[in-house]
Copies of this chain bind each other. A is one copy, B any other.
């Protein structure tokens, strides 16, 4: 009566969300690749056959996880680094890691399937991460404290390190987490800005980028 439309629609969305969440939970425990349709349906509280009302197969569900839940999380992190309050490495770590702690299962999913068996899913996750890389690159470009605009691959490398370190940090105790944060923020800043510590005066030869 309140909602003229979409009482049915709302229920559909509720079940769909339950499927996504169930897949995340089970996948975090036993791996996503070995996850079965019946298993997920059971955990979501519906009959196995009802699964097909929402997804054609498990891969389609996986892509929905990427393009919806992962995308949302990434967008959040992008927002955070748009107005940096600190060294970029710390800002992006803090935002990303907070998101990872809030939803560890999603983090495991991202980390595992980024190198997983399904090319389509890999590609979709790569797309999500490249959004973050571009945001990071843009933030670095407008950061007045940086001596120069870093190349695009610096941001991409930073995102690779960030994803890896955040996922590993979830398994660790607080003090190890702090070490990972230190190492990761240090590396990101070093990639984006050149030297973090002083004294690096030497411009060594022979990388693809030849010094003048």
Q: Which residues of A contact B (CB under 8 A)?
A: 30-34, 86-87, 89-90, 111-112, 114-118, 123, 126-127, 130, 133-134, 145-149, 151-154, 156-157, 160-161, 164, 167, 179, 182-187, 189-191, 193-212
Contacts and interface: CB of A to CB of B under 8 A. Distances in A.
B193 A204 contact: yes
Contacts of A164: 115, 160, 164
Contacts of A197: 148, 194, 203-204, 209, 211-212
Contacts of A207: 87, 89-90, 152, 185-186, 189, 196
A52 B145 CA distance: 61
Contacts of A115: 111-112, 114-115, 164, 167
10 contacts: A86-B206, A126-B211, A145-B202, A145-B205, A146-B204, A147-B204, A153-B208, A160-B160, A194-B202, A195-B195
B208 A152 contact: yes
Contact of A201 (B154, B185, B210): B210
B206 A201 contact: no
Contacts of A154: 186-187, 190
Contacts of A156: 183, 210
Given A111-B115, A154-B190, 7 more contacts: A86-B206, A87-B205, A112-B116, A112-B117, A127-B211, A145-B202, A197-B204
B199 A147 contact: yes
A209 to B, nearest CB: 4
A123 B171 CA distance: 12
A90 B206 CA distance: 9
Contacts of A118: 31
B145 A204 contact: yes
A166 B67 CA distance: 26
